[in-house]
């Protein structure tokens, strides 16, 4: 068994690489990906150099990846700016259909992408069922809409 492992060190580096990539799925900051890159290069080196040199190649390449590759990956990920709206905040600007009439002083319901939201009108007017509306703001679980 030991002879097999020593003769196939590339397999150990492949396991380390895939393990790092799986761990990266839970973090998403490309830090662990740099160790996977180092393991990939060490896997190639395993056919040429002894184990101690492979570990050195892995460490050096991982650090170099953190310094040079990670910043480029992060810039690419955050190309749209630092503010990335998600969940309910991403509703603003979306178009929905009124499924329960919205009358002055009362709320109704709007359907947006299959989800129903409690809604109030921007100005005191009645918005009939079936009208298309745009979401202009959100306060907790209540959205403010205007007719488009």
What's this model's pTM, rounded to 2 decimal places?
0.55
Q: Where are the domains of the chain?
A: 2-77, 87-147
Q: What is the pLDDT of residue 86?
A: 65
Q: What would be the CATH architecture of the domain defined by 87-147?
A: Beta Barrel (2.40)
Least confident of 56-65, 74-83, 120-129: 74-83
Residue 125 has pLDDT above 70, yes or no: yes
Q: Report in angstroms the alpha-carbon separations of 72 from 14, 34, 41, 84.
A: 24, 12, 19, 18
């Amino acid at each position: 068994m030991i002879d097999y492992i020593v003769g196939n060190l590339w397999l150990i580096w492949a396991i380390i690489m895939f393990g790092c990539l799986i761990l990266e799925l839970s973090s998403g900051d490309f830090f662990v990906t740099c160790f996977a890159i180092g393991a990939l290069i060490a896997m190639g080196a395993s056919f040429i150099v002894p184990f101690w040199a492979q570990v050195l190649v892995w460490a050096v390449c991982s650090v170099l990846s953190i310094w040079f590759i990670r910043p480029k990956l992060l810039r690419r990920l955050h190309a749209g700016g630092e503010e990335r709206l998600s969940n309910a905040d991403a509703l603003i600007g979306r178009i929905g259909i009124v499924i329960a009439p919205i009358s002055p002083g009362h709320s109704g319901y709007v359907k947006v992408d299959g989800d129903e939201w409690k809604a109030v009108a921007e100005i005191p007017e009645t918005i009939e069922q079936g009208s298309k509306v745009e979401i202009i703001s959100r306060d907790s679980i209540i959205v403010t809409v205007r007719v488009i």
